[in-house]
Structure 1
Amino acid sequence: MNWNIIENNLNNFAFLLLLINFFFYWLNLILSNNIILKNTVKLLTITINFLLALSLLGRWINNHYFPLSNLYESLLFLTWSITFLQIILTNKINSKLIGAITTPVSLFIISFASISLPHNMQTASPLVPALKSNWLMMHVTVMIVSYGTLIIGSLLSILFLIISGGKAVQIQGNSNSYKKKLLMEYNNSSSNKIKYNRINLLESIDNLSYRIIGFGFPLLTVGIIAGAVWANEAWGSYWSWDPKETWALITWITFAIYLHTRLNRSWQGKKPAILASVGFIVIWICYLGVNFLGKGLHSYGWIS
């Protein structure tokens, strides 16, 4: 059995289904209450997640180590994480927006992994001594799941800014009284009904973004701590200010500030959404940018 051919077929099929799902999700936004389309995108997402899981599991069995030792494997696992979180959130929240914003990102990630990465970076190779540890599964798994969670939360904040049109929108505190006032005073005005619905949508997106980031931040914290323990075990130092470690700390600080401002309500509406949007960029710098451009213990050495 040639596992490489099977793996390529699984990943290519997952890519094809993601492309189809991308169009279906956006069509689902246009067509309201279409049960067939709604069930189709759910089934496709579950199938995509299952195909990626099979690909990773086969790689694990074939190479005898958890498939998170190189960038290609971590990109596949990140795509699996995002689609898995997408399934959970869609079932729990029943929102069309989750899949509509996460599917394009998953499509981009798997395209980059399969097309842009050189073949030698896609090929599994024997683990170096430092990676032969149970901390590989603990640290990298938690970090990537936290990245996937924070990416989804940040995407919702970006969506918030797009829908709000960059205007300062008050959606906390007195938002309920404001919405009630709109309904009482302008009950027969279609323009103000639209305004009310827009505020309601923005409030929903903002709260959802906050809850998802609030879930991803503890995972990021645990992942960084696990990485520090592993670093001490492997290299004799908990923290060496490696570029990856530095940007992981910057990512942590960015979202810590976001959660702090939300908890004490010092910022509302647009400002925390901007900060979370900046966090989206910081995550990708930490995850990809540093790995390629920075020289350190976590560098994959493609560009550098």
Structure 2
Amino acid sequence: MANASFLVLFYTTVAYWLSIKYQRLTILKNLCWIGVVSSNLFLFLLLFSRWILASYFPLSNLYESLLFLDWCLLFILLFIETKTQTKLMGAIILPIILLIITFASLVLPPVMQESSPLVPALQSNWLMMHVSMMMLSYATLIIGSLLSILFLVLSLSKIPALTRVDAKSLGLPSFSSNLLSNIDNWSYRIIGLGFPFLTVGIIAGAVWANEAWGSYWSWDPKETWALITWLVFASYIHARLTKGLRGTQAAALGSLGFIVVWICYLGVNFWVKVYIVMVFFLN
């Protein structure tokens, strides 16, 4: 099912790019919708089967969390497309989704893809809530940050026509006729949706840590970067609400969130492993 999802996502990504080029071809839009739904279903069945076979919610290792992140991204993409009626966002998000499942299926060694019995500290409902909320927040914030990056690319582009594209030509009937205004507003809305998930995930993680180790917060690298991620997006939302920050300044702060999310999710884990290996060989 993972391989099937990878193949479907690959061809769906191509269909999305072609649908932006040839917008009048209805068959391409239908293929995009079928591809996203099929990939979402394959990932759901894969995660559900691992849940049944392992008898615990499939978020115990990096492989499972990457697949769950992909499923969340696809689910949110379906929701966004029903609201915007455009394939522009899918053309931006699908390559990230494809890279994630490629990394999970082809880069991670087989031993990291296998289910293993949970240690006592991980056998907690708070862990399931913490990880699921964090993955959902990561997916939402990644999409919102990607739109901020797109805003910067278009607004700073040397091709002026890109900043004056009629939104209706891309199926964006809301907000205004300016493409950049639509991207800016949707980035803000999506980040505003993901921020509460991040907050709930961090709180649930603190409760789980206290239940497992007797301390709500220990300032380890993962917790520190989770706090940094929260502060970055809290600053973004605060600036939008109270200072009326818009345009390139808001997009720059939102784009920073994209980097911070990936450092918090993957960067911290790999840095720790690299540090341990370096210390081992130096000693």
TM-score (structure 1 length as normaliser):
0.84
1:53 paired residue number? 44
Task: Indicate if the aligned counterparts of 2:147 and 2:183 stay in contact, CA closer than 8 A.
Answer: yes
Task: Indicate if the aligned counterparts of 1:66 and 1:137 stay in contact, CA closer than 8 A.
Answer: yes
Deviation per CA, 1:105-163: give whole Å up to 9, x if none. 11000000011111111111110111001112211001000000000000000000111
Aligned counterparts of 2:119 and 2:263: Cα–Cα separation in 1: 25
Which amino acid in 2 is paired with 1:224? I
User: Secondary structure at 2:218's aligned position in 1?
Assistant: coil
1:253 paired residue number? 231
Task: Indicate if the aligned counterparts of 1:75 and 1:109 stay in contact, CA closer than 8 A.
Answer: yes
1:70 paired residue number? 61
The 1:302–1:102 alpha-carbon spacing in structure 2 relative to 1, beyond 3 Å, is: farther
Matched, 1:26 2:20: no
- Give the drift of 1:267: 2.5
Aligned counterparts of 1:271 and 1:193: Cα–Cα separation in 2: 19
Matched, 1:37 2:28: yes
2:145 paired residue number? 154
Task: Indicate if the aligned counterparts of 1:293 and 1:303 stay in contact, CA closer than 8 A.
Answer: no
Task: Indicate if the aligned counterparts of 1:166 and 1:270 stay in contact, CA closer than 8 A.
Answer: no
- Report which of the two structures shows the higher radius of gyration computed on alpha carbons: 1
Matches within 5 A, 1:1-304: 10-165=1-156, 195=164, 197=166, 200-294=178-272
The 1:278–1:42 alpha-carbon spacing in structure 2 relative to 1, beyond 3 Å, is: same
User: Secondary structure at 1:95's aligned position in 2?
Assistant: coil
Q: Percent identity?
A: 58
Higher mean displacement: 29-38 or 76-85: 29-38
- Give the drift of 1:242: 1.2
Aligned counterparts of 2:90 and 2:243: Cα–Cα separation in 1: 29
Give structure 2 stretches of 5+ with no counterpart. Answer: 168-176
Aligned counterparts of 2:162 and 2:221: Cα–Cα separation in 1: 50
Aligned counterparts of 1:149 and 1:102: Cα–Cα separation in 2: 11
User: Secondary structure at 1:294's aligned position in 2?
Assistant: helix
The root-mean-square deviation of aligned C-alpha atoms, in Å, is 2.2
TM-score (structure 2 length as normaliser):
0.90
User: Secondary structure at 2:78's aligned position in 1?
Assistant: helix
Task: Indicate if the aligned counterparts of 1:292 and 1:302 stay in contact, CA closer than 8 A.
Answer: no
Deviation per CA, 1:203-246: give whole Å up to 9, x if none. 00000000000000010000000100111111100000011000
Which amino acid in 1 is paired with 2:39? I
- Give the drift of 1:302: 9.1
Task: Indicate if the aligned counterparts of 1:26 and 1:100 stay in contact, CA closer than 8 A.
Answer: yes
Deviation per CA, 1:150-180: give whole Å up to 9, x if none. 000000000001111269xxxxxxxxxxxxx
User: Secondary structure at 2:63's aligned position in 1?
Assistant: helix
Task: Indicate if the aligned counterparts of 1:68 and 1:136 stay in contact, CA closer than 8 A.
Answer: no
Task: Indicate if the aligned counterparts of 2:152 and 2:248 stay in contact, CA closer than 8 A.
Answer: yes
What count of residue pairs does the alignment treat as equivalent?
Answer: 268
Aligned counterparts of 2:147 and 2:162: Cα–Cα separation in 1: 23
Give structure 1 stretches of 5+ with no counterpart. Answer: 1-9, 168-190
- Give the drift of 1:303: 9.0
User: Secondary structure at 2:178's aligned position in 1?
Assistant: helix
1:4 paired residue number? none
- Give the drift of 1:104: 0.4
Which amino acid in 2 is paired with 1:231? A
Deviation per CA, 1:186-213: give whole Å up to 9, x if none. xxxxx99984748700000000000000
Task: Indicate if the aligned counterparts of 1:157 and 1:274 stay in contact, CA closer than 8 A.
Answer: yes
Task: Indicate if the aligned counterparts of 2:154 and 2:163 stay in contact, CA closer than 8 A.
Answer: no
The 1:27–1:193 alpha-carbon spacing in structure 2 relative to 1, beyond 3 Å, is: closer
